[in-house]
Structure 1
Amino acid sequence: MLKDKIVFISGASSGIGEAAAVRFAKEGAILIICARNLEKLDALKEQLVKDYGVEVHTYKLDVRDKKAINSVFESMPERLKNIDILVNNAGLAQGLEKVQEEDMEDFDVMIDTNIKGLLYLTRKVVPIMINNGRGHVINIGSTAGIVAYPGGTVYCATKAAVKFISDGLRMDVVDTPIKVTNIQPGMVETNFSVIRFHGDKEKADAVYEGIEPLTAEDIADVILYTASVPAHVQICEVTVTPTHQATAGVVHKEKVSK
C-alpha cells in the first residue's frame, strides 16, 4: 500500500524520525526527509538507497523558519510536492525547571518548534492533499500532552497543543479524504533527554534507569501501521507507553544497583 507513496518526515536525522524513514523505505515509499543536520540526513539517505533501493530527497530545514519551509517547497520538483503522508515529527523539550525559573529562551524554542513549526508544515501540505483528494497527516504528540508533570509545564503545554491541533484539523478536513492521526508516546529512549538536559548525557541516562523504555523503532512501527490501514479507516489517536509507565508522570522503576 505504501510503495511509491510520497512521505515527508520532519526531524528525520535521528530518533523517531530516522526510524520512521527506515520503516517507510522498507515499504518502497519515496522519501523527503528534513532536519537541521544535513550531514546526518545525507548519511541516512545513502544507507536507505543502499539497503532498499528507494528514492530519497534530503533538505536542511529548521521548521521554525517559515521562509526556509517556503524555500524547500520552491526548490522541490513539482511531482514531489504531491505529498501523500506528512509526519510532523520535529519536536523537543528544553530544561526541566519550574516555569517561574526556566530560561525564557527555552520557552521560545519549544513553542516555535513543537507548535508553530508543526502548523507551518501542516498549512503548507494540507491544501496540496485536499487538491489531490488524498493524504494523511501524522503528528507526533506525547503522553505529556495528556497529563502534565513537574518541570514540564511548557513542554506539556506544547504537546497538549499538538493534540488539539490534530483534533481540530480532523474536523476541518472531515469533508475530505484526508486522515489525521496523533501518536502520543511515553518514555522513548532517543536523544530526547540529551537535548532536554542541554547535552548532559549522565542526566539523560538517569531518566531511563530502572525501566525498559520504548525505542524509536517501536514508535516507527505504530506510525507505519496507522499509515497502512484501508482508506476508509482513520486511526485518530494512539497512546503508547512502556509497560511500567501509566502516564507521563506515573512510572515504576526497579532499583538499580550501582
Structure 2
Amino acid sequence: MDTALVTGATSGVGRAIALRLAQEGYNVLAMGRNAAALDELSRTPGVTPICVELTDREAVCEALDNNPVDVLVNNAGIMPPLSAFQDSEQADIDAAIAVNFSAQVALTRLVVPVMCQRGRGHMFFTGSTAGHAPFPNMAVYCATKAAIGGFAQALRLDVANSGVRVTEIVAGRIETNLYHDILSAEKRAAMYAGQTAVQPEDVAEMLSTVLAMPASVDVSRFDIVPARKAESANKQK
C-alpha cells in the first residue's frame, strides 16, 4: 500500500485531499496542528494522524520516522493579516515565510532523496494565483506563493530523470478557512456567495486525476479557479 503525506490536513483542501486519498486506498499520514480535528479525521480507515508543528523540523523528522513516502502533498499554509507591506508586523512576515515556504522546503528535503532512490514518487505543492499575479495588501503572501511555485518548477527538473514527478497546484478562490481570522463573516460570505468559489473537494478530485496519469507524464502545474466571478465583484461593475 502506497503512503501519502498530507500537510495542513485538518481542514479545507488538505482534509479533502486526505479523505480522497484514503478512499483510493492510500495509507494517509495526515499532518496538522489541530489535535481535535486530527482525531476526527483518524476515524476514517487508512488515515494516521500526525499532530506536529510544521516549522518544528526535529519534531517533523521524528514523526516521519524514516517511513518512505510515495505521495507528498505540501499543502499547509497561512494568510498573514491583510495590510500594506509598510504596515505589516515583522512577526507576521516571519511566520508566513516560515510556514508557506521554509518549512515546506525542509519537509521536501526529508522526503525527496528516498523517492529518488526508489525511482518513483509524486510531490504536490499548493500554490496560488497570488503567486503568479500581484494583489494589494498581500505582498508577503504573494511572495511566499511565488517562491513555492518557483521551487516546485525547478525541483521538477532536478528529479526528472529519477522517476519522480512534481506538480504545482495553482489555486484561485477556494472556500476554506484561510481567511477566517482576517476577514469578517460578512466579507467571507460575500466572497463565496452564489457558488462562485472552488470547493476543496474539487482540488482533491483534480489531484487524484493527475496522480492517475501514466508514469511517463508529469503535469507540471494545474490552475483551478472558479468559472464565475464573485458576486461582490459583479456588483462593483
- Deviations, residues 169-225 of structure 1 (Å, cap 9, x unaligned): 11111221000000111000110110344xx43333333346611111111111111
The aligned counterpart of 2:57 is 66
Matched, 1:138 2:124: yes
Distance 2:89 2:110 in 1: 31
* TM-aligned CA distance change 1:100 to 1:210, over 3 Å: farther
Unaligned ranges ≥5, structure 1: 50-54
Matched, 1:57 2:48: yes
Distance 1:207 1:157 in 2: 23
SS at 2:28 equivalent: strand
Distance 2:140 2:232 in 1: 24
Distance 1:87 1:186 in 2: 18
SS at 1:192 equivalent: coil
Matched, 1:178 2:164: yes
SS at 2:162 equivalent: coil
TM-score by length of 1: 0.86
Matched, 1:39 2:36: yes
- Deviations, residues 30-62 of structure 1 (Å, cap 9, x unaligned): 11110001221110110x22xxxxx22111122
Contact 1:166 1:180 in 2 (8 A): yes
- One of 205, 219, 222 as aligned partner of 2:189: 205
- One of 215, 226, 231 as aligned partner of 1:242: 226
Distance 2:174 2:84 in 1: 23
Unaligned ranges ≥5, structure 2: none
TM-score by length of 2: 0.93
Distance 1:243 1:59 in 2: 35
Distance 2:231 2:171 in 1: 14
Identity over aligned pairs, percent? 34
- One of 160, 163, 167 as aligned partner of 2:146: 160
- Deviations, residues 211-243 of structure 1 (Å, cap 9, x unaligned): 611111111111111111111111001011101
Contact 1:244 1:252 in 2 (8 A): no
Counterpart amino acid of 1:241? V
Distance 1:172 1:39 in 2: 38
- One of 200, 203, 210 as aligned partner of 1:216: 200
Contact 2:156 2:165 in 1 (8 A): yes
Further displaced range: 103-112 or 153-162: 103-112
Distance 1:204 1:153 in 2: 20
Map 1:5-16; keep pairs closer than 5 Å.
5-16=2-13
Distance 2:94 2:193 in 1: 30
Further displaced range: 25-34 or 178-187: 25-34
Contact 2:196 2:231 in 1 (8 A): no
- One of 212, 219, 222 as aligned partner of 1:228: 212
* TM-aligned CA distance change 1:125 to 1:251, over 3 Å: farther
List structure 1 runs of 4+ shifted beyond 4 angstroms.
Answer: none
Further displaced range: 28-37 or 211-220: 211-220
Distance 1:196 1:25 in 2: 32
Matched, 1:22 2:11: no
